[in-house]
Amino acid sequence: MLMRKVKLRTVILLLVCMVVLLSLFITDLLVSRSINENSMRYEEEKALTTARIVADSDIVISGLENQETDAVQVYANRVRSSAEVLFVVVLDMNGIRYSHPNEEMVGQPFEGGDEKEVFLNQEYSSISEGTLTTSLRSFTPVLDDEGEQIGAVVVGISLEYIDQMINQNHRNILLGSLFGLLAGVLGAFFMARYIKKTLYGLEPKQIASILGERNAMLESVHEGIIAVDEEGKITLVNKSARKLLKRAGLKEDPIGVDIASFLPMTGLERVLKTGRAELGDELVINDMSFIVNRAPLIVDDKVIGAISTLRDKTEVKELAQQLTGVKLYVEALRSQSHEVKNNLHVILGMLRIGTYDQLKEFILKLVDHKSHEISQVQHVRDPVLSGFLLGKLSYAKECGVTLTIKSQTPIHKSTDQEMVHEMITILGNVINNAIEAVAESPFKKVEMTLAVKRGKLHIEVKDTGPGIKTEQLKEIFTKGYSTKGEGRGYGLANVKDSIDHLSGHLTIDTVVGAGTTIMIDIPYDAEENDRD
């Protein structure tokens, strides 16, 4: 619980300091031990080398052979001074000193008890206490010209001097360690500061919370999401995307796979290169169509990856058709509501001024008109579709257009419950286009004919508009294409999609200046209990 409250910077500082301290402590132990051993070995070699030099000296050999101490004493003290050792003592075979830093000791027996082996012609070192102090002593035999041992040389180095040298080295190591610790603390501080900046000032708990929220959001999104890094490797595929890819026949786990080899047609590599978003494109994977949006992931003006959303085109199409149908329903109801409201205002006005004869005549005309409208759709047995067509009659009247609906055969209710939505999309858009086409014509007439023959619903919509130019015929079913300004051009595209969905057929017969006739044939299966 306490660790959760500690900030990331503090954790990094403590961790780095602990690592540096532990490293320096272990280094100090190992280096100190090594230096101690090397120092002892160096001083021992120094003592042995000095002893060998003295033992090979003609002065020492001659002094031992002739039992002359003065020359040996002078030479030994000179060597002791230049070699900076504690003492240089020359012994004869009886252990009598021929030299010593204290002249009073010359001629006296050697003390220490560790000199016996040197008289057996052996070279060695030992630590012992003599007349001066405890010291490191190196023994070397002295041989004459015939190789016979005639004495020995003992060179001593004070242990206090060795300890001082080791302590000095240890102090140097401690100073270096303290400097290393200071550098480690400063490095840890700047590293913690850099990491904190890289993480946008967030603590690990906050990062974990944000990551958990992000994953939950991505997994709950209905759209499929695929993300890649700057090298094109797939880093994220949410649950919806996995389901869509599985339905398209791709069952392999794509995480870590190159997007170019897994889905070469996604276009994410292109987005990585250009850094530009691509919206509303269609992607086909194993005969399954998707609507995709692609966008680069940009951090600090650098493209660090790309993301793509997938949506089953069938779902999008159905949603668009339903929305189009609802819009057309609303338009039809609005037209009827507007017409009824206007008529009620007229009736109210006549009642107030008391023109009852004119009121009676107006109501009779109104009833006759409504009866005429109802008679036009009486053969359309689907109540939703007939109500929709009545709304279109009112809408055409509002626009000053004469709309005539003829049913050559009864139009029974379809066995497909979704058929009515497709029919509303088709009829609504075609009629609206025809009404708009005759808006500037001197004769504003639109005629629609319905008939069911040989299992097909035949729809024919004829207008007296200006017709369609040849170059426009190639583009009118393209989504977004319109000669009426921006935000238009979706009606006929939806009509074409609905007709294709129903496996129908559409034909356009147009004459410039004389009008346009649109003929549509759709497979149509009516309910048995609805037949005459």
User: For residues 143 and 124, what is the distance between their CA atoms, to the nearest angstrom?
Assistant: 16
Q: Are residues 433 and 515 in the same domain?
A: yes
Question: Which residue bears the tokens 């060695």?
Answer: 124
Domain ranges, residue 237: 224-313
Residue 1: what pLDDT?
42
Q: Which of 259, 293, 313 is the last residue of a domain?
A: 313
Q: Are residues 122 and 242 in the same domain?
A: no
The predicted model gives 229-255 an average pLDDT of 80
User: For residues 462 and 238, what is the distance between their CA atoms, to the nearest angstrom?
Assistant: 50
Q: Are residues 37 and 158 in the same domain?
A: yes
* Burial state string for 251-277 with b = 16 or more CB within 10 A and e = fewer than 16: eeebeebebeebbeebbbeebbeeeee
User: For residues 197 and 12, what is the distance between their CA atoms, to the nearest angstrom?
Assistant: 14
User: For residues 214 and 236, what is the distance between their CA atoms, to the nearest angstrom?
Assistant: 12
- When divided into structural domains, the chain yields a total of 3
Helices marked H in 286-355? 313-353
Does a structural domain hold residue 338? no
Q: Are residues 270 and 394 in the same domain?
A: no
Residue 116: what pLDDT?
82
Provide the 8-state DSSP code for 17.
H
Does a structural domain hold residue 466? yes
Q: Are residues 419 and 508 in the same domain?
A: yes
CA distances from 464 to 33, 206, 428, 516 (A): 110, 68, 18, 7
List the CATH number of the domain containing 243.
3.30.450.20
Q: Which residues have a Cβ under 8 Å from the Cβ of 224 and sit 6 or more positions away?
A: 237, 238, 240, 241, 242, 243, 244, 245, 290, 309, 310, 311
Q: Are residues 141 and 238 in the same domain?
A: no
**Confidence bin at 487 (pLDDT 50/70/90):** very low
The predicted model gives 500-507 an average pLDDT of 87
User: For residues 450 and 468, what is the distance between their CA atoms, to the nearest angstrom?
Assistant: 23
Does a structural domain hold residue 334? no
**Confidence bin at 338 (pLDDT 50/70/90):** low
User: For residues 385 and 175, what is the distance between their CA atoms, to the nearest angstrom?
Assistant: 96
Q: Are residues 264 and 385 in the same domain?
A: no
Residue 405: what pLDDT?
86
Q: Are residues 14 and 161 in the same domain?
A: yes
**Is the pLDDT at 124 greater than 70, yes or no?**
yes
Any idea of the CA torsion for 20, 24, 30, 33, to the nearest 10 degrees? Answer: -170
**Is the pLDDT at 428 greater than 80, yes or no?**
yes
User: For residues 518 and 503, what is the distance between their CA atoms, to the nearest angstrom?
Assistant: 17
Rounded to the nearest integer, the mean pLDDT of the chain is 77
The predicted model gives 391-418 an average pLDDT of 82
Tell me the three state secondary structure of residue 441: coil
* Between 484 and 41, the higher pLDDT residue: 41
Q: Which two tokens stand for residue 506?
A: 């559409």
Does a structural domain hold residue 29? yes
- For 127-186, the pLDDT digits (tens) are 777 666 667 788 999 888 888 888 999 888 877 766 666 677 667 767 777 777 777 777
178 exposed, middle or buried (CB, 10 Å; 0-12, 13-18, 19+)?
A: exposed
Sheet holding 505-511, edge to edge: 402-407, 445-453, 456-463, 515-523, 505-511
Estimate the crossing angle of helix 313-353 against helix 383-398, to 10 degrees: 60
Does a structural domain hold residue 173? no
- For 215-235, the pLDDT digits (tens) are 666 666 667 888 888 888 888
- For 43-53, the pLDDT digits (tens) are 778 888 888 88
**Is the pLDDT at 488 greater than 60, yes or no?**
no
Beta bridge partners of 141: 152
Residue 2: what pLDDT?
43
**Is the pLDDT at 8 greater than 50, yes or no?**
yes
List the CATH number of the domain containing 500.
3.30.565.10
> Cβ(179)–Cβ(20) under 8 Å?
no
User: For residues 344 and 242, what is the distance between their CA atoms, to the nearest angstrom?
Assistant: 58
Residue 3: what pLDDT?
47
Per cent of the chain over pLDDT 70 is 74
> Cβ(322)–Cβ(424) under 8 Å?
no
**Is the pLDDT at 75 greater than 70, yes or no?**
yes
Residue 460: what pLDDT?
92
Q: Are residues 257 and 400 in the same domain?
A: no
Does a structural domain hold residue 388? yes
Q: Which of 150, 165, 180 is the last residue of a domain?
A: 165
Q: Are residues 390 and 512 in the same domain?
A: yes
> Cβ(265)–Cβ(285) under 8 Å?
yes
Does a structural domain hold residue 385? yes
Q: Are residues 395 and 498 in the same domain?
A: yes
Q: Which of 313, 331, 365 is the last residue of a domain?
A: 313
Residue 521: what pLDDT?
92
Does a structural domain hold residue 436? yes
Q: Are residues 392 and 478 in the same domain?
A: yes
User: For residues 354 and 360, what is the distance between their CA atoms, to the nearest angstrom?
Assistant: 11
